Amino acid sequence: MEIIEKITNDVIYKLSQQPENKTPETIRQLIAFESSNPLEPVILTSDQIEHIAKEVEHQFGLTMEEGTLIVDDENFEPWLHNKKSSENFEPYFWNRYETLLLQNGFAPPVVSSIDNVTNKIVARLEDPDKEGPWDRRGMVVGHVQSGKTANFIGVVNKASDVGYELIVILAGMQETLRSQTQERVDEGYIGQDSSKKNSVDFAESLIGVGNLNHDKIPYSFTTKHKDFDDRSNFVVKKYDDATVLVVKKNARVLEKLRDWLKKNNSSIDGTISNLPLLLIDDEADHASVNTNDSDKDPTTINKRIREILNLFHRKCYLAYTATPFANIFIDPSSEDDMYKDNLFPKDFIISLDPPSNYVGSEKIFGNDDEAIDIVRDIGDIEDIIPLKHKKDQTISCLPESLKKAVNSHIISKAIRILRGQSNKHHSMLVHLSRYKDVQKEVFDLIVQFRQDIEKGVRYYYKLQKEEALNNPYMADLYSMWENDFAAMYSEWSDIQEKLLEAAASMQVMLINGDSPDSLDYKAYKNGLNVIAVGGDKLSRGLTLEGLATSYFYRSTSMYDTLMQMGRWFGYRDGFADLCRIYLTPMTESYFAHISNAVEELREELKEMFAANLTPKEFGLKVRTHPGSLLITARNKMRASETLLHRTDLSGRLVETYVVDLKPEHRKNNLDLFNEISEKLQKIEKAEYSEASSNNYVWKYVSANIVEEFVKRFDNHPRAQMTQTKPILSYLERASEHFPKWDIVFISSRSSKERYSAANGDIDIGIQKRTCNPKGQYEKDNYIEISTRRRVASGTNDAERAGMAEDEIAEALERWKRERQGKADKEKENGNSEKAKEILEKDLKISSIPGRYLRRARRRPLLMLHLVNAYKDIKDEATLVESQLPAYGISFPKRDDIYIEPVEYAVNTTFVKNYYQEFEDDEE
């Protein structure tokens, strides 16, 4: 560990043990004391002292809320407080782990929050000393790359403290992920390198918590090199301390574990009555669900998990997932089946809040005023590597965008060196294909490109700027710095001086089942600078340390799958501004849409907590959210079956982001736009304000007009959320509550392309939108249009149309209350500056998130759009289609009324053709 980092962590740990205030003076005094250690004296410059002090202050300023818990407490007796209050109770395992977290640089407020939230989770398990039989089911909903592993290792430690004797951790479907999890368990719970547990030199085998205290060492039947082996005849009860197994979610491995438990640990009747089990299912939305027909056996892995659970009289199943769209909620055939299913978290669900330094989907893809600018477009790749390709696809050259991404990675590394982060891991992800042969071709081309860059840099980086830039590779690096990084570090001469170190230290690794390469970060004591090329092996759970650059080119819009692909979520302290994510505009819009949907569900979970609702009711909410539609389809459909799925449209925004291109349908829809605007103008002239939005608004319109419009609009089958039948069904059910509507015809103020409607009364500025490349969809006669939000409307201005001032004020006030709540939490955690920053942020009416508008508005809103679709929205020459009619509906959310969800139909062909899946086995 670099000496600066060691001193920083030591200072943080010692300050965390002191109850008094951490003033700037005491922090700097402690730094001076630590650096003057007579055994290891260190001479620090004033800049280094200040750097350490700022990092310490930053760590103590971090906050982490304790999440939201919804429970079903029927027949449950609280037990944890009484157990911890007894004289004999000793939190041995937790004390070790807490100290390790602090020594490893975790912010003390974050460690305190982990302590509190793991208490909540363990309190909802059952008392392991309680006579059986008993059975508890729970779920923890975290964020991708947000520290779920740190949380569940905390739970494991506390579960051991209270008496759980057998802990089984299901750690993903790939050995790399299982091995990575085992290492974390070895360090944070066992205290011994499990692969050296039989070593003659016991001291050499100690790691992590074992170096703090090794009076008790849990026994592990698995190691970082070896999954479970059923050749053992060991009996769990023979060990004084807890036993832990970290196993893959592999049918054969789980079968071996089941048989071993029955053979060596069960009683005569084949069950285990004297041993409490805690089974933790990491990535529970992956491979744990029943995806077979109801009249067949569950999928093998699902079946094996339930068989293991059913061996025990006393057991707890604790699922961890990174998305509220977990398959455990969505999979069962009926709502009644959902609740009865063995893996459903019937007893409790807790939604974790990440620390304040977490960079998640909301910070990258959220509202424009909250998002950080790190996403870059991939606009040139389709001609080189089609989005949908076969495993024998050949690649003759790298796309220019990928070359730029590599240059970006080198520049960011050079800046990190200048920031004193030379010994930190620095990773780049390249994920273009699921096929191993294609990955190998991309790998070979990147290896050659890296070599070419290094040669150019090696012979030119010491020259004066003008001479150096005569080399094309140096010139490209300079261009990358000038256009994208100059604001982060303004002196090119300093960067040029570090380019050789940045480029020459960079390795390229191929990470798939055919490659011997391994991302063994621990082997690189001075930091690994790497470009990792791969596919699905990089996509789930595997942590890329110091991930700075991502180049991602894959096709899916499945919420659960795509969120897991986002390896760039996580913690980027000290270099978040240097991170870059290269995506196609459509993939970016998918992420933005998912971010919004996930945030909606998290907010609804908080509302359910306030209303004392249960996990069953949250499960129903997830099942009827529009985002669950395609996940359900993927899991449940067979052959050419059509699936009916119930969806609740209350408080939702639905839009036609897929537009029908059949000439007769386009003409019908455009004629319909003309007809409805002409009809509305005859009833009452539209409200129009050039000073504000430039939109044309009609208020208090009869619901019959909207129903007629939806009935006659030719909706393409791929525009799932605007299917005619369910929309009409919902309008019919909502008619008594919403007899009057508002309608807005969206007009772009800046557009030069105009469209005249209603006999010239209306002059519409046609909106610009990005589209997916048309070629692959020509035979299906449709085009997919998008903005950063994957919708036609683009901004919240459209959803405000027709709202009265008091409604807008109500939405703004609700948004302000949420901000105030966040600020209050920061103040409680002693972070006044962060609280001030939150409160000072300008909450513009134009930026009110749509979910608040839909809660406040009293009438539904129909939005009409005319769109020109471009391959590249910045280049007029890339126009693909013009005057595309699309519509959206903003449905009010009302707590005082309930409208039954409606049924959507999805067929197998749609799912297979449009939502290309990520397979677990790369080919």
- Report yes or no: 329 and 622 within 8 Å, Cβ to Cβ: yes
Q: Are 852 and 651 a contacting pair, CB within 8 Å?
A: no
How many alpha carbons lie under 13 Å from residue 200 in its C-beta half-sphere?
A: 0
pLDDT, residue 345, reads 85
320-333: pLDDT as tens digits: 987 766 655 555 44
| Per-10-residue mean pLDDT, the chain, length 923 | 73 73 75 74 73 74 69 89 91 96 84 89 95 90 78 96 95 85 95 82 90 93 88 62 90 92 78 91 68 51 88 94 65 51 81 74 66 82 83 90 97 92 92 90 96 96 95 97 92 94 96 84 91 78 82 69 66 83 81 74 77 76 63 52 69 87 94 94 80 80 96 88 87 91 90 87 88 58 67 65 92 88 71 73 78 92 92 79 92 78 59 45 44
Nearest CA to 357 out of 644, 554, 574, 543 is that of 574
Per-residue pLDDT tens digits for 751-769: 888 998 888 888 999 988 8
Q: Is 891 helix (H, G, I), strand (E, B) or coil?
A: coil
What is residue 190's DSSP assignment?
I
DSSP H or E stretch at residue 531: strand 529-534
CB 544 within 8 A of CB 572: no
Show the DSSP H helices in 803-896 as ranges. Answer: 805-828, 832-840, 850-856
pLDDT digits (tens, 9 = 90+) for 326-383: 655 555 444 555 555 568 888 998 888 776 677 777 777 765 555 678 889 887 888 8
How far is it, in rounded angstroms, from Cα 476 to Cα 499? 12
pTM: 0.73
What is each CA distance from 608 to 533, 617, 895, in whole angstroms? 42, 8, 12
Look at residues 165, 160, 121 and name the one whose alpha carbon lies nearest to residue 141: 121
Extract the tokens encoding 326.
């977990």
Instruction: Count CA atoms within 13 Å of residue 806 on its CB side.
Output: 1
Which pLDDT does position 277 carry in this prediction? 95
Nearest to 249 by CA among 282, 290, 298: 282
pLDDT of residue 147: 75
CA dihedral 772, 777, 781, 785 (to 10 degrees): -10
Closest to 325 measured CA to CA, from 364, 374, 361, 373: 361
Report yes or no: 738 and 703 within 8 Å, Cβ to Cβ. yes
**What pLDDT score does 169 carry?**
96
3-state secondary structure of 97: helix
Q: Tell me the per-residue pLDDT of 26-49, one tens digit each, with 9 for 90 and over.
A: 778 788 887 777 667 777 777 677
Spatial distance between the Cα atoms of 90 and 162, rounded to a whole number of angstroms: 9
- Return the pLDDT at 790: 44
**What residue has token string 């529009």?**
626
- Assign 561 to helix, strand or coil: helix
Count of C-beta atoms within a 10 Å radius of residue 828: 12
Q: How far apart are CA 61 and CA 58, in angstroms?
A: 5
Q: What is the pLDDT of residue 281?
A: 92
Q: How far apart are CA 879 and CA 781, in angstroms?
A: 17
